[in-house]
Amino acid sequence: METIRAHAFVTGRVQGVFFRATTADEAASIGGLAGYVANLPDGRVEVVCEGPKELVERLVAWLWHGPPMAKVTDVKVTWEPPVGNLAVFSVAYRR
């Protein structure tokens, strides 16, 4: 099975609505994914995800909806070769 990496930026009402925690839960539910989700200072959420192509695509499709309180207006995804430096999917906290 082909392994891929998605680097996504999610725009809209995506901070303060449990987007990070719910994304991590969704990745765990899908299984087989590694990466992180983080809030950015400009109000967007960044998601980096590696794993089998079908599973990564499922998480990226989910990003368009997010948790119930979110209002996603855009998801920009860059498909990249996998780096293999991520072991688990986690919430990243940036300052």
pLDDT digit string, tens, across residues 30-42 = 999 999 999 999 9
Q: Which residues of the chain have pLDDT under 50?
A: none
Task: Give the pLDDT score at 95.
Answer: 59
Q: Which two tokens stand for residue 48?
A: 């980096």
The answer to whether 85 is a known catalytic residue is: no
Question: Which entry of 39, 58, 94, 95 is annotated as an active-site residue?
Answer: 39
E strand or H helix at 59, and its extent? Answer: helix 53-63
Task: Give the pLDDT score at 35.
Answer: 97
- At 52, give phi and psi (nearest 5°): -60, 140
Contacts 24+ apart (CB under 8 A), 60-65: 60/6, 60/8, 62/23, 62/26, 63/8, 63/10, 63/23
List the domain boundaries for the chain: 3-92
- At 35, give phi and psi (nearest 5°): 150, -155
- Tell me, which fold does domain 3-92 have in CATH? Alpha-Beta Plaits (3.30.70)
The answer to whether 20 is a known catalytic residue is: yes
Q: Which two tokens stand for residue 51?
A: 């794993």
- At 15, give phi and psi (nearest 5°): -115, 145
Question: Which entry of 5, 13, 20, 95 is annotated as an active-site residue?
Answer: 20
Task: Give the pLDDT score at 84.
Answer: 84
